[in-house]
Structure 1
């Protein structure tokens, strides 16, 4: 599942994300990548939650305003030893006295990724992104100008 999702990250980040995944596993931490490339339609539906559709708000990013829309972001969840999932950022399933979540954060940061848990307005603990030097406005402009290498990936 995670390996298939890694294949949806922007091609410029694919090898790096594979390395990150291997490093996390080498540290004894179970992880699943839950969301990588996200369509504009899916983003629209997520943005509607808590606004025009039932449920709590899950994002502040409209379609085209998320790094997921360009294959430059990934969301994660912990895997317990029994392979069930956990979003508990304090758990230490590998019993090394370090939160598994923070071990994952450490690996992503070693590769220069930004963590949503560091944001001041809306803490998005499962979220990591690497913008490759592009603002969301620049990416949206490239999208509108049809600057693709191979759809859905922008020429970066």
Structure 2
């Protein structure tokens, strides 16, 4: 696991950090060729979200999100975007390439691992597919299983560090 990925994991919600480390470890072990997983985005501030939402609406460019500030699971540290790093230097978002020649696209090997851990994949969305995106919607806490959505999360109290209290 590379330094950038570890730094981004440490900013995620404390309840998912260890799980994400395990997922990335499993992905990297499954990918026996030159591809390894890098988290390109984890926790995103409301301000960053507003800037992304403005792209294609207020500023030039193609729309990159339909989520306003507070409407993205990234805003709560419960989502990650990934890419594959090839030979420790080149980023790839190619979902079809089989870098390790095991007859399964490396991207889909990772999709399966995230799914095993209960993470939803943006590639399964019916509209506005988001191939690099994974989010944790069901979180097991001492209070039981919490089904999270931005509508629920935005109303929740936060701790001293700014994370929602689950």
Listed as ranges, the matches of 1:64-143 within 5 Å are 64-81=70-87, 83-131=89-137, 132=139, 133-142=147-156
User: What is the alpha-carbon distance in structure 2 between the residues aligned to residue 8 and residue 96 of structure 1?
Assistant: 33
Alignment TM-score, normalising by the size of structure 2: 0.88
Task: Work out the number of aligned pairs and report it.
Answer: 152
User: Offset of 1:87 from its aligned partner?
Assistant: 0.9
User: Which residue of 3, 6, 10 corresponds with 1:3?
Assistant: 6
Return 5+ residue gaps in structure 1 as ranges. Answer: none
Comparing both structures, which one devotes a greater share of its residues to helix?
1
Q: Could you tell me whether the CA contact under 8 Å between 1:77 and 1:85 is conserved in 2?
A: yes
1:14 maps to: 17
RMSD of aligned residue pairs (Cα, Å): 1.0
Q: Please list every run of at least 4 consecutive aligned residues from structure 1 whose deviation after the TM superposition is greater than 4 angstroms.
A: none
TM-score normalised by structure 1 residue count = 0.94
Gaps of 5+ in 2: 140-146
Q: Which has the higher strand share?
A: 2
